[in-house]
Amino acid sequence: MDKHQRFALVAQLWNQNMPFNQLLGFEISRFDDERSEISFSWQDKLIGNPMQKILHGGVTASALDLAGGVVAAANIIANMDEVNPKTIQENISKLGTIDLRTDFLRPGRGEHFVASAHIIRSGSKVAVARMELHNELGDHIAFGTGTYMVG
Amino acid sequence: MDKHQRFALVAQLWNQNMPFNQLLGFEISRFDDERSEISFSWQDKLIGNPMQKILHGGVTASALDLAGGVVAAANIIANMDEVNPKTIQENISKLGTIDLRTDFLRPGRGEHFVASAHIIRSGSKVAVARMELHNELGDHIAFGTGTYMVG
Amino acid sequence: MDKHQRFALVAQLWNQNMPFNQLLGFEISRFDDERSEISFSWQDKLIGNPMQKILHGGVTASALDLAGGVVAAANIIANMDEVNPKTIQENISKLGTIDLRTDFLRPGRGEHFVASAHIIRSGSKVAVARMELHNELGDHIAFGTGTYMVG
Amino acid sequence: MDKHQRFALVAQLWNQNMPFNQLLGFEISRFDDERSEISFSWQDKLIGNPMQKILHGGVTASALDLAGGVVAAANIIANMDEVNPKTIQENISKLGTIDLRTDFLRPGRGEHFVASAHIIRSGSKVAVARMELHNELGDHIAFGTGTYMVG
């Protein structure tokens, strides 16, 4: 399996088996060690503030956390020596968010949203990712910084 | 209306009208300027990692953000001079999360969870709250720090 | 006074009157509402870890905080209606850091360092800035995110 | 060497060999795996804002970072099996701050300051500490949260 076959395998697995992401309508639309992307559409159930009709801050934090986790997972997988479904499983089972900062820049309005992430610190034990959330008009809704346990 | 009548009014309003909190089963169980509490029970749809059966990090961040927002709202309401449903509405409409840090301390396992918050910096424009998430066994699952726009 | 005359005035004032920045050898080398820069050179007294000869994390945090504060101040000044030394003074006296996150990416080694900042959220009361620290080789040593009271 | 002898050894070593801490007048006054303390006195060179005569935010961040690093180091040392000056040295050489959040609650005024820290997440690779800064009147000046590499 080359790197991109491994990524496709895990993306499919995660998209089909993560209940909370499915509840929110999150889809991993790019699973790559360079950059990850999570896509989702507006749904009324994601509303935090009913007066203003904007995304709940928790939806934003969830999307950013997932985007960072995906790019961190892709980096774990890209660096593995012996690759098969079992070893991939074992290696990404160590993944966990240590801490996450979310900066809410603009009200979460829009029809379609993309959260993206890239790695700013990579290591054998800990990785740090930066994340962004934009809507379909390119409005920059939120920034995030997450520290992940990767080994 | 005394302070606690105002709190009860807003707690009821928010519990009945915030779609995302209802989706996650969050209930504001304490609405007070001293300390707020959000209660929720385990549901399989809140699972992030299906292998480990633990809460999605976004559920934790959502509960902490709401707990901090409630205690910040209670402080806005407690400090109002002229109080009626319309002025309460106007004053809390300014409330918004500026930034949120979540520290994930232990896996999110349990049957029942309480997120609590108290204010560490109060001001006419910005308030800062500290939050904690515990399960029914008292396990300390997460810490949070949130900065809120309040005026 | 046009915008850039005001910036030059405050940059000079701050460079000459901030004891801690002088102690660390920090110089505001760019004071602008688009982007600010703080420059400083290696000095042995800035060492945190004597075994590794790297900058103390507090030096990094100090440089990032100052860079963010400068770009926030420049935004306050750029938006003022009536400008004279007294009104500038009054307006920037409201400036204060609410919270600061520093991400340490690489060991703080080098001969010359530049901390830079730009605004990611601007408002009449609160601004949020993102900061970076690089050395003379372009190594990216640290990232920062700061929330500032501006009004 | 029992645990407290090891702590005393490292505290002395660090107090005498960390240039930046000496520059700022920081003294490790408690080196313990339960709780660490850093003490320092007001000096005019620590001033950030000359108009208000308050500590530079970077002084606060430096004290909090050091307090967190000390309690993290004490936890590394407390958990070592084979203890001698060389193995202590090797083990604490892995220590490094990954990220640090500082919440500035009140102006940094006072004659004497104590930064304290305790561990909220301990692990073989990463530890998280919470920190506080108080002055001699008990005013709570700042909060901090730091994530440290420990193994």
Residue D104 confidence (pLDDT):
97
Residue B2 confidence (pLDDT):
85
Cβ neighbours of A99 in D, within 8 Å = 99, 128, 145, 147
Q: What is the mean pLDDT of chain C?
A: 94
Residue C140 confidence (pLDDT):
96
* Chain C nearest CA to B69, separation (Å): 17
Domain ranges in chain B are 3-149
Nearest to B98 among C101, C126, C151 (CB): C126
Is D117 in contact with D68 (CB distance < 8 Å)? yes
3-state SS, residue A79: coil
Answer CATH for C3-149 from 3.10.129.10, 3.40.190.10, 1.10.10.10, 3.30.1390.10 = 3.10.129.10
Nearest-angstrom CA–CA distance, B68 and B77? 14
Q: Do C58 and D57 touch (CB under 8 A)?
A: no
pLDDT in tens, D118-132: 999 998 999 999 999
Q: Which two tokens stand for residue A60?
A: 């934003």
C140 touches chain A (CB under 8 A): yes
Residue B135 confidence (pLDDT):
98
pLDDT in tens, D49-98: 777 889 999 999 999 999 999 999 999 999 888 888 888 888 998 899 99
Residue by residue, DSSP assigns C22-89 as HHHT-EEEE--SS-EEEEEE--GGGEEETTTTEE-HHHHHHHHHHHHHHHHHHHHHHT-SS-SHHHHH
Residue D54 confidence (pLDDT):
94
Cβ neighbours of D101 in A, within 8 Å = 101
Question: Over 90: is that where the pLDDT of A2 sits?
Answer: no
* Chain A nearest CA to C138, separation (Å): 14
Average of per-residue pLDDT across C1-8: 88
Question: Over 80: is that where the pLDDT of A20 sits?
Answer: yes
> What is the distance, to the nearest Å, from the Cα of residue C18 to the centroid of all Cα atoms in its chain?
12
* Chain B nearest CA to A49, separation (Å): 6
Q: Do D101 and A98 touch (CB under 8 A)?
A: no
Record the pTM: 0.95
A145 touches chain D (CB under 8 A): yes
H-helix segments, chain B: 3-17, 19-24, 57-78, 85-92
Q: Name residue C60's amino acid.
A: T
Question: Over 90: is that where the pLDDT of C74 sits?
Answer: yes
- Phi first, then psi, for residue D131 (nearest 5°) are -130, 160
E strand or H helix that includes residue C149: strand C140-149
CA angle at residue B61 from C128 to A52, to 5 degrees?
Answer: 65
Partners of chain C (3+ Cβ pairs below 8 A): A, B, D
pLDDT in tens, B86-130: 888 889 988 999 999 999 999 999 999 999 999 999 989 999 999
Residue A85 confidence (pLDDT):
82
For residue C150, how many other CB atoms are within 10 A of its CB?
Answer: 23
Nearest to A128 among C103, C130, C145 (CB): C103
For residue D89, how many other CB atoms are within 10 A of its CB?
Answer: 12
What's the pLDDT band for D42 if we cut at 50, 70, 90?
very high
Average of per-residue pLDDT across B73-92: 89
Nearest-angstrom CA–CA distance, B109 and B59? 12
Cβ neighbours of D119 in A, within 8 Å = none
Average of per-residue pLDDT across C100-121: 97
Residue D1 confidence (pLDDT):
77
pLDDT in tens, C40-70: 999 999 998 777 889 999 999 999 999 999 9
- In chain D, the DSSP E strands lie at 27-30, 36-41, 47-49, 54-55, 96-104, 112-121, 126-135, 140-149
What's the pLDDT band for A52 if we cut at 50, 70, 90?
confident
Question: Over 80: is that where the pLDDT of B150 sits?
Answer: yes
Residue D51 confidence (pLDDT):
79
Residue A33 confidence (pLDDT):
95
Q: Which two tokens stand for residue D16?
A: 């005498």
- DSSP conformational letter for B88: H
Question: Over 90: is that where the pLDDT of A84 sits?
Answer: no
Above pLDDT 90, what percent of chain A? 79
Is C103 in contact with C91 (CB distance < 8 Å)? no
Cβ neighbours of B150 in C, within 8 Å = none
Q: Do B58 and A20 touch (CB under 8 A)?
A: yes
Which residue in D77, D73, D61, D79 sits closest to D145, CA to CA?
D61
D95 touches chain A (CB under 8 A): no
Residue A81 confidence (pLDDT):
84
D97 touches chain A (CB under 8 A): no
Average of per-residue pLDDT across C82-104: 91
What's the pLDDT band for C81 if we cut at 50, 70, 90?
confident
Residue B85 confidence (pLDDT):
82
Q: Do C121 and A103 touch (CB under 8 A)?
A: yes
A–C interface: beta-carbon pairs under 8 A: 30
